[in-house]
Structure 1
Amino acid sequence: MSTTNHSLESFQTSRKFYDDVNYPRGISRSGDYSLKEVSLLENHGVAFLALADGKRTPINDIETQFLKVCQGELSPTTAEEKTWVKYKNKTLTPKQFHTLFGRSKVEVDPEVETEPDDLED
């Protein structure tokens, strides 16, 4: 998962990537990603998104391979590809909500009459 010197010219953007919809407190505070993954997303996420959405054309073989990974033609091999796939999986998969109570509601038997307890004895 190392980046090569050739990849330094890839994924260049002029601004940081923020996802206020899925991570309103910031990607780094979510706990979903390692420090390296956060750095990749913040520094190159704008380029990742533009390539994945087709708003940017690949400038070299690395970006072409990234685009093929986004389209599902290849499996991710580089740190950039793995991080973007992880990001997409996290943002597209609904968060699971766990509760101590079951899903089914308690059924009330209509034949049994219930009266409020008398507070005064």
Structure 2
Amino acid sequence: MAESFITAHRFFDNKNYPRGFSRHGDFTIKEAQLLERLGYAFNELDLGKREPATEEEKLFLDVCRGEREPVTEAEKVWSKYINRIRRPKRFHTLSGGKPQVDAVEDFNDSDD
């Protein structure tokens, strides 16, 4: 049987993880290593740029399409990665943005 997720490319996501997967805190060292080693193949399969060559890759695609829950280590780490990069970013700011209007000032309780 052919080996799954064969790739000669390392996977990096400089947009979401500019310092690498292991330094960000979202992934364990083992998960980060798996993403770097096989993430390029995971991404190609997920985007439809590569056809699944093995049963494992076909099952992986079912997870990517939301047709089944992740079971293998590869499926779990890719699902975790996708959920992290697709979640809305929360940010906190001390200045800037729209001034907040005090609700009491806008409320007029007269019957004129």
Q: Which amino acid aligns with 1:105?
A: Q
Q: Give the 5 Å matches for 1:1-121.
A: 9-98=3-92, 105=100, 107=102
Question: Which structure shows the bigger proportion of residues in helix conformation?
Answer: 2
Structure 2 CA distance, aligned partners of 1:79 and 1:95? 26
Task: Supply the distance in 1 between the matched residues of 2:6 and 2:60 (Cα, whole angstroms).
Answer: 14
CA distance in 1, matches of 2:92, 2:15: 22
CA distance in 1, matches of 2:99, 2:81: 33
* Larger Rg computed on CA atoms: 1
After superposition, what is the alpha-carbon deviation per residue over 1:57-87, rounded to whole angstroms, capped at 9, x for unaligned?
A: 1111000000111011111000100000000
Helix, strand or coil at the partner of 1:28: helix
- TM-score of the superposed pair, with normalisation by structure 1: 0.75
Percent of aligned positions that are identical: 50
- Corresponding pairs, count: 102
Residue type at the aligned position of 2:81: Y
Q: Which residue of 1 aligns with 2:109?
A: none
Secondary structure of the residue aligned to 2:83 is: helix
**Aligned-pair RMSD on alpha carbons?**
2.5
The normalised TM-score by structure 2 is 0.80
CA distance in 2, matches of 1:32, 1:42: 14
Gaps in structure 2 of 5+ consecutive residues: 106-112
CA distance in 2: counterparts of 1:58 and 1:41, whole angstroms? 18
